[in-house]
Structure 1
């Protein structure tokens, strides 16, 4: 699995970015991450049960990521057409403000090493990538356990201080001095 301090892989893939007719799809690449912090999170499959709770929670917190100059990208191995259908038919996903990338060839999930060994679907991996494209944080959950989006935000805050942050540190608290 690609880890801390490594360069996030180069990628380019179709994404569902809207439900507006004629503006549904766009090619997204790592160039879209350049110059800002990014959260790239993976989910196993569209039209499942835990996954929409995570996508909806990332969307609920989208304004907080944006306030931290942090872009959000969601990825699964379903096609951009399947993403569009899921967004169309799931009330909690209609208004997503971030792109749903379609890694149908499993190139990015493969390069990161986040495919479930037996099921060959993405694990619930979350990467925080700095403005230079370097992985600064990775968290991976098993297929059955959803992630904590507030912890992702807390970690973005901690990384952006560029200081030592103690256990359970939250934005606004003192950092450690040496």
Structure 2
């Protein structure tokens, strides 16, 4: 069953954020656009490249009213240790949620049960708490923050322009489509 347009399931967790341990719940996702970004584990190989890429683009996401939440099945203590020892991870300013029980990871359908780790799952959530984008990658395939940024821009555009949709490779300012009978077979 697809998670698209479903509500984020309730959760409570602890995150490492700005040098502190802070509570995070599904309620924190409401009222703004959010990205919940699952990755397999701290102190690994592809994961720091992805989290660092998001950190490098975090100011742009924030300027669009988007909060990012990194999630792995590690604890918030492990997130702090990684943050304190890795030059790449020390750049992160978004919350890093610990999910040692795997409850959040299972709620989003990205748990690898036999490993106790998450797949690379990316979820864009609107201010009402609905999942608008869901991408799940094999753990050997890293993601690109700039492509995610473009997808969030498209999701925000569609949300604020009822009756319009964004075609492939759409970027802000480009032409959109207004689905109608007149367009059938003409694109």
Pick the TM interval, shorter chain.
Answer: over 0.9
Gaps of 5+ in 2: 159-163, 180-187
Look up the match of 1:95: 91
Look up the match of 2:175: 174
Look up the match of 2:140: 144
Higher relative contact order (CA 8 A, sep 6+): 1
Q: Residue deviations 1:116-138, cap 9 Å, x none?
A: 24323100000000000000000
Deviates more, 1:116-125 or 1:165-174: 116-125
Aligned residue runs from structure 1 range 1-178, under 5 A: 3-19=3-19, 24-162=20-158, 163-178=164-179
CA RMSD, Structure 1 to Structure 2 (Å): 1.2
TM-score, normalised to structure 2, is 0.89
In the aligned structure 1, how far is the partner of 2:31 from the partner of 2:174?
Answer: 27
Runs of 4+ aligned structure 1 residues displaced above 6 Å come to none
In the aligned structure 1, how far is the partner of 2:12 from the partner of 2:167?
Answer: 37
What's the offset of the Cα at 1:40? 0.4
CA contact (8 A) 1:2 1:113 kept: no
State the secondary structure of the residue aligned to 2:112. coil
TM-score, normalised to structure 1, is 0.93
Evaluate the alpha carbon distance shift between residue 132 and residue 6 of structure 1 in structure 2; reply closer, same or farther with a 3 A threshold.
same
Gaps of 5+ in 1: none
Q: Residue deviations 1:87-119, cap 9 Å, x none?
A: 000001113110000011100111121012432
> How many residues are aligned here?
174
